[in-house]
Structure 1
Amino acid sequence: MINVKVNLRPLVSKLNLPTVLKTTILPGDSIERLFIATQVGEIFYIGNGSLRTFLDIRPRILKLGTSEPGVSRGGYDERGLIGLAFHPRFYYNGLFYLHYSVAGTQGPGALSKRFKPNPCDPDTLNLRWTNRETQYDHIDTVEEWMLLSNGQPQKRRTLLNLRRPFFNHNGVNSLNFSPETGKLVLTTGDGGAGYDPFNLSQDDMEIAGKIIEIDVAKNTFINNPPVVTRFNELPVTVQETLTVIAKGVRNIPGISFQKANNRYIKYVGNVGQDLVESIFSFVQYKPVPVTQLIQASIMNSIPDQEGFINFGWRGWEGAFPTSTKKSCSENPTLDEKTIAYFNEAIKTSVKRLQPLTSYYHDDPRSDKFGGTALTGVQAYMGNGIPDLMGNVVFTDLARREESQSPVRGVLAYTRVRTDCKLNDFSVIKTNYDFGSQSAYYVSLGTNLDQTRLYLGVYGSMKVTDFNQGTVFEIVPGS
């Protein structure tokens, strides 16, 4: 693949964690502006060269950087404001959507101790999430807001209240509108803790681990919708607004749509467990109405899932059966990898979607890198960086190479092969000096016509370390 070089042009600095980067045109305005949502609950936009506050919901966000009350996680967290999407007709109707973790909902978690599957102990591979009303980590909400004529945003309705078992794998950049259907697409992670201990991602009734379309044109005004974990717990009027595009999700940094020959290629990245990060692409799909899934569950039958996308998790991690590492006592330098969910890997081996590309946590090739976690996937259709036009750009949080200090994130790209086989990827070289500061690449965004790319960078892994964020535009390099 072609070696691509880019520059990073700073747009704004000293932000909190910039988790979502989107552009839109404000009602009455004529310029497409970049909006930045931070994990702690602020939404800014860049207007006339200055940073302006659009909305501040920090009081609505639960206290980040802790697990159960009073217990520190060292400042690392995956909760907070994790989704922002503007309605396709935002300029006319002022509607936008938020996904965030609700203040005051911190629970003890779904398990009393850290989960680690042991292939030698089947009991650790087939756990059940019980006592869900009390054994959970927090509650996430998906809300519809409206920008009023006086310029003030106001909450209009709640679409979903979701009880989450663990603090992580809630999704990020989790709300996006489909240009195909006009529906709001919600990407939910598997619930967290690693290895999907309750196998929520493959269970058709579980909301976790899915890609879900929400028909926001259906005005379902329900005061205080119930807090749920399963589709069949939702009111019928809410069930009727939902279709499921995909299951087998571990954790997704959003979904990107690329128009090609009057059709849309969908790109989705699935964050890996131990071995590999994977990016998937698909064009054809047949979403399954939630009401149909529920009816099949009641009848104890298998719903029609022809064209239903399955990414394979937890049986598969990208193109690999999900493994666990066992220490080799005779030679501790060797890693013995055991297939943790052999039966599930077999059951989903044919049904699952193959990745477009994968990159590895350990990669001996000199022109590649060892990854940590996929944080963004965006199609690029601009001609400003000609070698990237029509390609898919992605970001990894941090290079895994131990010798590298301070930390640096990674930009890379790939593209769909005409023969639809697994493709390679290439690292994008960036010409920017971060000095002695760490640079975790935490988010990737684009403008409405996908001709510009934006990168969110943070100087720390801790959400409790404030004001260390910078947003860059990715521009042509030399």
Structure 2
Amino acid sequence: MKPISSVTRMVSALFALAISFTVLAEIPQLKLVNAYPNLKFKRPLWMEQLPDGRTFLLEQRGKVYLLPKNANGKSTTLFFDIEKRKPYVKDEEGLLGMAFHPKFASNGKFYAFYSAHKPLRSVVSEFRVGKGGVIDLATERKLLTIERPFWNHDGGCILFGPDGKLYITHGDGGSREDPHDNGQNLSTLRGTIMRIDVDAASSTRPYGIPKDNPFVNRKGARGEIWAYGLRNVWRMSFDRA
């Protein structure tokens, strides 16, 4: 095998540099604009827009607001409120995620991921829209409850995928270096991304487990797991391409 000459190295370096400059030249000039200049929020974490154009904003302390259609609007509508339950106590706790059922326009189903205490746990629940077009807390149906050994690394993202299944992230449970080795333990839902079917409840659980989940047939493994070995998946998204 012949050694690579200095000329070859130089040509390769110049080629790579040329590509870098080309990429930089294609990046458009961006300017940050305050989307809602007349509104203020406390610890906003997530925004979601429905196909009908309505936009919702989630606050970590436990509230979800419907934002005004006009970006210069000065008022919001309180859509969901569990702040009295005090889900937020420490930095990574609180109301962490929300998702709207793909058929929300007809069934009014809304999903929330929030922290609970005594004992520490993460809860994923289904709610329904009630009178006035806001969430009725009395309709809560708990889908998952995951105990947490520490206050941090809770994950908290919930999304419906293109396949109509609900994907849920949960961190390894916290502290330094995953002391309970949750990340490599398929018998726990900590340190994973889960995939469940909210429209297929059974006599044993309030949701269904898709048959094509990777660990459905593995002895000792939780069938809900879609991916594992994850430190703390805080946010994720599906590529629309």
TM-score category (smaller protein): 0.7 to 0.9
Q: Give 2:161's aligned residue.
A: 178
TM-score scaled to structure 1, two decimals?
0.39
- 47 and 160 in structure 1: CA distance in 2 versus 1, 3 angstrom threshold: same
Deviations 1:200-252 (A, max 9, x none): 111110110111111110235xxxxxxxxxxxxxxx722972359xxxxxxxx
Q: Is residue 2:40 matched to residue 1:19?
A: no
Aligned alpha-carbon RMSD (Å) = 3.1
Question: Residue 32 of structure 2 aligns to a residue in which SS?
Answer: strand
- 91 and 200 in structure 1: CA distance in 2 versus 1, 3 angstrom threshold: same
CA displacement at 1:47 relative to structure 2: 2.2
Give distance in 1, aligned partners of 2:61 and 2:42: 7
1:206 pairs with 183, 188, 213, which one?
Answer: 188
Give distance in 1, aligned partners of 2:236 and 2:144: 25
Deviations 1:273-292 (A, max 9, x none): xxxxxxxxxxxxx52354x3
2:144 pairs with 160, 170, 178, which one?
Answer: 160
Contact 1:99–1:141 at 8 Å: present in 2 too?
Answer: yes
- 101 and 380 in structure 1: CA distance in 2 versus 1, 3 angstrom threshold: same
Question: Residue 128 of structure 2 aligns to a residue in which SS?
Answer: strand
Give distance in 2, aligned partners of 1:60 and 1:237: 28
Q: Is residue 2:204 matched to residue 1:237?
A: yes
Give distance in 1, aligned partners of 2:86 and 2:32: 31
- 175 and 376 in structure 1: CA distance in 2 versus 1, 3 angstrom threshold: closer
Contact 1:243–1:288 at 8 Å: present in 2 too?
Answer: no
Give distance in 2, aligned partners of 1:186 and 1:207: 10
Deviations 1:314-348 (A, max 9, x none): 7xxxxxxxxxxxxxxxxxxxxxxxxxxxxxxxxxx
CA displacement at 1:57 relative to structure 2: 1.0
Give distance in 1, aligned partners of 2:86 and 2:129: 20
TM-score scaled to structure 2, two decimals?
0.74
Give distance in 1, aligned partners of 2:118 and 2:209: 27
In the TM superposition, 1:341-352 aligns within 5 A as none
CA displacement at 1:33 relative to structure 2: 1.7
Contact 1:19–1:39 at 8 Å: present in 2 too?
Answer: yes
Give distance in 2, aligned partners of 1:379 and 1:214: 16
- 377 and 6 in structure 1: CA distance in 2 versus 1, 3 angstrom threshold: farther
CA displacement at 1:165 relative to structure 2: 0.9
What stretches of structure 1 of length at least 5 have no aligned partner?
26-30, 66-76, 108-137, 221-235, 245-285, 315-372, 382-389, 391-478
Q: One-letter code of the match for 1:9?
A: V
CA displacement at 1:380 relative to structure 2: 7.5
1:61 pairs with 86, 99, 102, which one?
Answer: 86
How many aligned positions are there? 207
Give distance in 2, aligned partners of 1:80 and 1:18: 11
Q: Give 2:109's aligned residue.
A: 95
CA displacement at 1:59 relative to structure 2: 1.0
What stretches of structure 2 of length at least 5 have no aligned partner?
1-22
Q: Give 2:171's aligned residue.
A: 189
Q: One-letter code of the match for 1:189?
A: G
Q: Give 1:84's aligned residue.
A: 98
Give distance in 2, aligned partners of 1:158 and 1:198: 26
Deviations 1:124-159 (A, max 9, x none): xxxxxxxxxxxxxx1211110011254231234110
Identify the structure with bigger relative contact order (alpha carbons < 8 Å, sequence gap 6+).
1
- 146 and 240 in structure 1: CA distance in 2 versus 1, 3 angstrom threshold: closer
Q: One-letter code of the match for 1:202?
A: Q
1:297 pairs with 220, 228, 231, which one?
Answer: 220
CA displacement at 1:188 relative to structure 2: 0.8
Question: Residue 96 of structure 1 aligns to a residue in which SS?
Answer: strand
Structure with the larger strand share = 1
Question: Residue 91 of structure 1 aligns to a residue in which SS?
Answer: helix
Contact 1:242–1:289 at 8 Å: present in 2 too?
Answer: no
Q: Give 2:213's aligned residue.
A: 287
- 167 and 85 in structure 1: CA distance in 2 versus 1, 3 angstrom threshold: same
In the TM superposition, 1:361-380 aligns within 5 A as 376=235
Q: Give 1:247's aligned residue.
A: none
Q: Give 2:54's aligned residue.
A: 33
Contact 1:61–1:100 at 8 Å: present in 2 too?
Answer: no
Structure with the larger helix share = 2
Give distance in 1, aligned partners of 2:197 and 2:170: 16
- 18 and 240 in structure 1: CA distance in 2 versus 1, 3 angstrom threshold: closer
Contact 2:95–2:115 at 8 Å: present in 1 too?
Answer: yes
In the TM superposition, 1:367-406 aligns within 5 A as 376=235
Question: Residue 47 of structure 2 aligns to a residue in which SS?
Answer: strand
Question: Residue 186 of structure 1 aligns to a residue in which SS?
Answer: strand
